[in-house]
Each structure stands twice: as C-alpha cells, then as structure tokens.
Amino acid sequence: MIRSRDETWVRVEDASAVGAVRRTAIMLAESCGLDEHERGKVAVAVSEAASNLVKHAAEGMMLIRSHPEADAAVEVIAMDKGPGIRDLTRAVRDGYSTTGTLGLGLGGIARMASAHEVYSLPGRGTVISMCFTAAGAEPPEPLAAGLARPIGEEAVCGDAFAYVESGTTVTAMLCDGLGHGEPAAAASRAAVRVFQQHHDLPAVAVLERIHRALRGTRGGAVAVARLDRAGGVIRYAGLGNVSGWIVHPDGRQGMISLPGIAGHQRDRLREYDYAVPAHSLLVLHSDGLTDRWDVAAFPGLSARSPAVVAAALLRDAGTRRDDATVLAVRTTP
C-alpha cells in the first residue's frame, strides 16, 4: 500500500486487498464529510470493484484519493491488465457475476457512485473511475486530471504536476524530480510552488523561474504548457525528458523539450507554439512512462474523461522501475 498525503495506491492482487481498500475509502470518505449513508455506498462499490480485480484481473491497482476538483468528494480509479469486458451491456446488469463476487456488477457500482466511467478493451484490461460526493452535491466534471504513482513501494512520488484554469486558458506543469523518494519529491514540490505563484506568465518565463528555484535541490525535468482554447494554440516550454503530446483521434504530435536539468544545467530556454486540432488532448508525462505508446492501440480513448485517459496510459505505458506521472487536459470544453 502506497500513501501520499490523501492519496493511496493499492495493489489488488489477492483477497486480503479488498478489505484494505474498503477501509481506506471509508476513512477518506469520512474525512471528506460524507455521511454514513454515502460512506456505505463507497464501501459497497469499492469492495465490488476490488473483488472483480482479484477474481478477473492481472496487475490490478486502485487509487483512492480526495477529488482534486471538489472539497467533499472521493475519487476511486481501478485499473487492470485483465481480459477486459466483452459485453458491457450484460456487465452493467445488477446481479450479473461470473465468479461469486457481490453480484452487483457494474450496474451496482453505477448506482452507488455519484458518477462513474468504464473504459475496457477485450484482451487488454479495464479502467473504472468512480466519484462519490456528499448527498445532493453534483459531481465535478474536470477538463484536466493527472495521476502520480511512486516507484515500487516508495511512500512518496518524486514527480508532481499542477494546472490552473482561467477562462478559456489552461496552464499545466509537470516536474520529474531527479531520482526518486523524498529528495526528488522536494524538488517537484518546489516546482509546484513556483508554478502556483507565476502560472499567469508566459510558459517559458514560468520555466525560467522554476529553474532558478530548483537550484540547491536535486533538480528535475520540467514542462510547462499554456493551452489557449479560444485561439486554438498550445505554447510549450520543456527542459529535460518530460514528454509533451497533442493527442487526437488519428494520432499524436510530440512537442519539443530542450536538453538539460532544471536547477542545474540548461542552454537558452525556448517556447514553441503548436496548433490544436479539434477533439484533441494535451498530454504531459514523465519518463516513468515509455513514449512508444500508440494512440491506435486505444480506440475511443481520446473521447474519454481526462482521468480515464491518464489511467489507461499509466497502466499500459508506465514502468514499475520509476516514478510515473501523466497529466491529461481536454482542449475543448
């Protein structure tokens, strides 16, 4: 079990993990202000999702966290490399269970959660996102979402990300602290603090300030992207091996990051402009994900929510040998 602030990553590979994720989700729901009835819904849905991972999946993982876009909401994301769901219509029927789980199926999860989404590919696996809010509260519908998973059993992730929406503009930053563990995390947290203070500056100016702030730390690879939805352009400045992509249904376009390490060594920083195709996504990720993933291997993914996009890429392109972080931003509301 991997904890980071109010986030918990759990490997769900045997029956003992079901109780662990249920208890974690209930405690977080209570701290977020959900009442006993809503906490009961969380317990049932999370137990069913975890049981399905144990029964059907390979490399099952669950993330439990307070929702980044709401004060009183819990977000749960389950992902696996299992057989996938061949018949989603049948799977959402209450009572449908092939191996003796609670028998609620995806239909039960849909009823218990305030919002949910399923992305499944036969032979590849499934991603399920769930949001639980206080009674009567509308679930958020964020246009950006990120996931940061530590290496192995580390308690903290050495990567960090942040984004700010202002009108039709979204500014995003991802930092991959050099190495892993607390020293890498300290560098990434410093990058987030500077970004939060100066996100309204041009992307290259934000990157320059982060570079200065990371002196005295391990340093890291950093990318800053400014998405202007009204103008249909992304302004991008990168230093080091963070990957930036514009993803659309027919493929993807890479964005240029210059060689160097923020806080230590760099040449002259530059900012590049990229046109934004319709129905596309801005994706930033650390080198904990291979950059060889293929959009064609994820049919329909570009139309999914940013959280599901991030989870699918982390599952399929992420490596256990490094911290792994991915941030996805929808380019159109």
Q: What is the pLDDT of residue 5?
A: 54
CA atoms of 154 and 220, how far apart (whole Å): 18
Taking phi first (over 0 means left), then psi (-120 to 50 degrees means alpha), and beta for anything else, what does residue 301 get? alpha
Contacts of 19 (CB under 8 A, 6+ apart): none
- Please give the average per-residue pLDDT across 147-156, as a whole number: 90
DSSP state of 67: -
Side-chain-facing half-sphere of 21: CA atoms under 13 Å: 33
- pLDDT confidence of 93, banded at 50, 70, 90? low
Other CB atoms within 10 A of residue 55 CB:
15
Statement: residue 196 has pLDDT above 70: yes
**Weakest mean pLDDT among 97-101, 111-115, 157-161, 285-289:** 97-101
DSSP per residue, 153-209: T-SS-SEEEEEEEETTEEEEEEEEESSSSHHHHHHHHHHHHHHHHHTTS-HHHHHHH
Return the CATH fold of 144-330. Answer: Phosphatase 2c; domain 1 (3.60.40)
Q: Tokens 């599901």 appear where?
A: 308
Q: Where are the alpha helices (DSSP H) in the chain?
A: 16-31, 36-56, 88-91, 105-112, 182-198, 203-213, 306-317
- How much is the pLDDT for 105? 66
> Beta 169-177 vs 260-261: how paired, if at all?
unpaired
Cβ atoms within 10 Å, residue 271: 18
Concatenated DSSP letters for 91-104?
HTSTT--SSSS-S-
Question: Do 2-133 and 144-330 share a fold?
Answer: no
Annotated domain spans of the chain: 2-133, 144-330
Residue of higher predicted confidence among 5 and 49: 49
Position 278 confidence tier, pLDDT thresholds 50, 70, 90: confident
At residue 262, does pLDDT exceed 80? yes
Count of helices and strands (H, E) across the chain: 7, 18
Contacts of 40 (CB under 8 A, 6+ apart): none
**According to the model, what pLDDT value does residue 92 have?**
59
What is the arithmetic mean of pLDDT over 66-85? 91
Q: Which residues pair with 129 in a beta bridge?
A: 77, 117
Look at residue 263 and give its three-state secondary structure. Answer: coil
- Is the pLDDT higher at 110 or at 205? 205
CATH 3.40.50.150 fits 2-133, yes or no: no
* CA geometry: angle 304, 307, 309, nearest 5 deg: 50
